[in-house]
Amino acid sequence: MNLEKRRAIFSTLKESIPNAKTELNYSSPFQLLIAVILSAQATDTSVNKATKKLFSVAGSSKELSKLPINEIELYIKTIGLYKNKAKNISLTSKIIETNYAGKVPHDRTILESLPGVGRKTANVILNTIFGDPVIAVDTHIFRLANRINLGPGKNPLEVEKKLTKLIPKEFLVDAHHLLILHGRYVCKAQKPTCNECAIFEHCEYKGKS
């Protein structure tokens, strides 16, 4: 896929999704961090339902770090792997509160050292909160990058590196959310709605099996 086509794809996506942003609900960088930790192997809708209850009781690192793990579990028990996630968000809250005065650090190494935070979660925070030109490759982006030949790769890291290199620089900050939303609602895993696709004319998939 050449540069002209890649630029056309992102220009079109930006027009069709003018306010591309995360669908996770949050009111602070800390809340987004917790929501993203909870979102692993879970839908944004299920996470939003859980965090609505959780954040109403403990919406800051100070409050959440003091909440017993068994209470955290009660608020997030509808989410998969909730017991392990409860431990992770409790530990992460304590670290953020104690070591960083309740502020989420703008530092990849520190973020990835937090319990429950891997490269993908760190990239979400770096991009969404700090506006860094990085891409968190989730299942939607991984599928989309390979399906339409935008940045094919055998694993998320390989796809991330290719996309970061191949996406025109002027679209890198927005690319993460543009691709996720397009993959979630149009270029779906099962039965992609090619007839509704804004970038169909530039796509190298075009409904192939």
Which residue among the candidates 66, 107, 120, 208 is catalytic per the annotation? 120
Closest CA to 153 of 162, 141, 165: 162
Q: Is 188 a catalytic residue?
A: no
Q: Is 138 a catalytic residue?
A: yes
Structure tokens at 140: 């939607």
Distance CA 124, CA 137 (A): 9
Helix (H) or strand (E) holding 52: helix 44-57
Q: What is the largest CA-CA distance in the chain?
A: 54
CA distances from 179 to 15, 94, 107 (A): 13, 33, 24
Which residue among the candidates 138, 154, 162, 188 is catalytic per the annotation? 138
DSSP string, 103-124: ---S-HHHHHHSTT--HHHHHH
List the catalytic residues.
120, 138
